[in-house]
Structure 1
């Protein structure tokens, strides 16, 4: 059935539950997983050019730290479950494109992801990314609540 499952994660509660369900499925199917975190590139409007590089550097460093934390948690869970796991983060202003591109690049045959991400406007944006993946994916997508 499924042999390589993509697990996009943003660290939210719903995303974490999707990872857990994806790992459980991978274990039952003797499949491997690929954990992915998409970081949105820094975007700012500023009239002070000195502020932008420092802010961008700070944003990037903090985003990478969070990505490594989220992906480390997935790798730890996968190791405890005995599921082979690779992982990485990418910068992309279109998370859907990044998810679909990584799925193709790594020859995944299923995507398991949360129905929505963080709260507020971020939840709306990430939820719309899940919708975009559902509409555009040539692969089956399992959406978890």
Structure 2
């Protein structure tokens, strides 16, 4: 099977960069288009007195947006350097797994390559797993990269 459009969700973790490397290699082989994306997650301050922390919330989201844009621009250069067509996207205000599946649908991705931290047991139960959620909910194949 050949994959024409690969989606690569990234965050600031080293495992994301391992997924980027895998996507870069596969995209070169298959002459695929790649979309690299980041999700700025739902409000981490839910339940906090809004009027006391409004400036902190604004600063948090502005910094998160800047960090995501900077990260995507850096990654885009790797694909550009190798002549691979690449697009970037930032999705805001959604649960990461939902944002990933939404973008996969919007761009017509036929493969998602993403990293997994490999949490198990109690950590997985408490923290959830974005990779696990995408794997079980995605209508397209998902390649999980672990280090």
TM-score by length of 2: 0.87
| Correspondence for 1:46 among 45, 48, 55 | 48
Aligned length: 139
Tell me the alpha carbon deviations over residues 103-144 of structure 1, each in whole angstroms, 9 at most, x when there is no partner: 001100000000129xxx79x74x611000011111000000
The equivalent of 1:107 in structure 2 is 108
**Cα distance 1:52–1:83, how it changes in 2: closer, same or farther (>3 A)?**
same
Q: Is contact 1:111–1:140 with CA below 8 Å preserved after alignment?
A: yes
The RMSD of aligned alpha carbons is 1.9
TM-score, structure 1 as length reference:
0.88
Q: Distance in 2 between matches of 1:107 and 1:54?
A: 38
Aligned counterpart, 2:87: 86
Contact 2:9–2:36 (Cα < 8 Å) also in 1 = yes
Gaps of 5+ in 1: none
